[in-house]
């Protein structure tokens, strides 16, 4: 629900999966989530737990062309927490390449 992010709202995901499952050239293999930036003591564990439960719930359903095996959540600052909450893929670009230069024209 952040302007800088896009994707499906949790409440719309079931309908979207039903529609996408009928497209035989599309294969749904997983979910990706980026939680809001934590403030103060707020951690991302609540969001990671919700995504993991959604991942489990979708895995249990039998949609055509949907076989979720990837749960991508966690980035350089929270990847350990994400792995502990069930993430199978993390994005650690900042940890490898350093902070982005948002002023760069590239």
pLDDT at 31 over 70: yes
Query: Do strands 89-91 and 66-75 pair parallel, antiparallel, or not at all (unpaired)?
Result: parallel
Which tokens in the block code for residue 13?
């995901």
What is the per-residue pLDDT across 47-106, written as a single tens digit (0 to 9) for each?
899 999 999 999 998 888 899 999 999 888 888 989 999 999 999 988 888 888 877 676
Residue 64 pLDDT: 86
Q: What is the pTM of this model?
A: 0.81
Other beta carbons less than 10 A from residue 31's beta carbon:
20
Angle between helices 45-60 and 10-21 (to 10 degrees): 30
CB 49 within 8 A of CB 89: no
pLDDT at 15 over 90: yes
Residue 13 pLDDT: 92
Q: In the 8-state DSSP scheme, what is residue 35?
A: P
């Amino acid at each position: 629900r952040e302007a800088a992010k896009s994707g499906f709202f949790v409440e719309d995901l079931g309908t979207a999966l039903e529609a996408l499952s009928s497209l035989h050239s599309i294969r749904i293999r997983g979910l990706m989530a980026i939680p809001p930036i934590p403030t103060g003591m707020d951690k991302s564990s609540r969001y990671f737990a919700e995504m993991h439960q959604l991942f489990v719930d979708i895995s249990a359903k039998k949609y055509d062309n949907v076989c979720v095996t990837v749960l991508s959540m966690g980035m350089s600052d929270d990847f350990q927490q994400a792995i502990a909450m069930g993430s199978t893929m993390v994005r650690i670009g900042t940890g490898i390449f350093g902070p982005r230069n948002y002023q760069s024209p590239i």
